[in-house]
Amino acid sequence: MGQDVAVEPAAIERRTLFRDRHWLICPPDHALARRRKVRWSELGPHTFIAPTRDFRQRVLPELEAEARGFLQRASTQEVSYMTTALGMVAAGLGLTVCPTYSASLVRAHGLQMVALDRPDFHREVCVYAAARRSLSPAAAGFVEILQRFAQQPALAG
């Protein structure tokens, strides 16, 4: 079996490309689809589909007690891929959340995005690289593409 290798924090450089908010995703005929904002605590009566296996662990510390209970109940489903969650929402099996950069996928599934509030849940999209080392030309080109993507108006702010 492989051994764990300790990495010195100074050996890794972290560059934030953008900070992206998460939105409630629901069918267009859902009662919440007509709202401008929805609080996490208002999601209690609905089945929640976590868009990734680690989503609940990442968001739970930021939520109020009532909303934490909502995510911890048995009716919460977890999937491995955001596209699976979107398909389940489109089939009427519950609600999910997605970051702004998923808007085209959300629209392709015929779903609605509604701002989530209290708290706004954001995630940072970052590039990690070895410190004091240049990226390969291919990696540098990829990071450049990511930076241009991150500067799109829908992702700014």
pLDDT at 148: 85
pLDDT (average), residues 34-56: 85
pLDDT at 157: 46
Cα distances (Å, whole numbers) of residue 106 to 15, 20, 96: 28, 15, 11
Cα distances (Å, whole numbers) of residue 65 to 10, 27, 34, 37: 36, 27, 26, 19
Residue ranges of alpha helices (H) inside 4-136 are 55-59, 65-72, 82-90, 103-108
Q: DSSP string covering 133-149, please?
A: SPPPHHHHHHHHHHHHH
d(Cα 9, Cα 45) in Å, to the nearest integer?
A: 43
pLDDT at 52: 81
pLDDT at 91: 96
d(Cα 131, Cα 11) in Å, to the nearest integer?
A: 5
Question: Which range, of 10-14, 89-93, 101-105, averages the lowest pLDDT?
Answer: 10-14
pLDDT at 155: 54
Q: How far is CA 117 from the centre of its chain?
A: 14
pLDDT tens, 99-153?
888 899 999 999 999 998 877 777 788 888 888 888 899 998 998 898 887 777 6
The CATH architecture that domain 19-123 belongs to is: 3-Layer(aba) Sandwich (3.40)
Q: Considering the chain, what is the average pLDDT of its residues?
A: 83
The fraction of the chain above a pLDDT of 90, given in percent, is 34
pTM: predicted TM-score of the whole model, two decimal places: 0.73
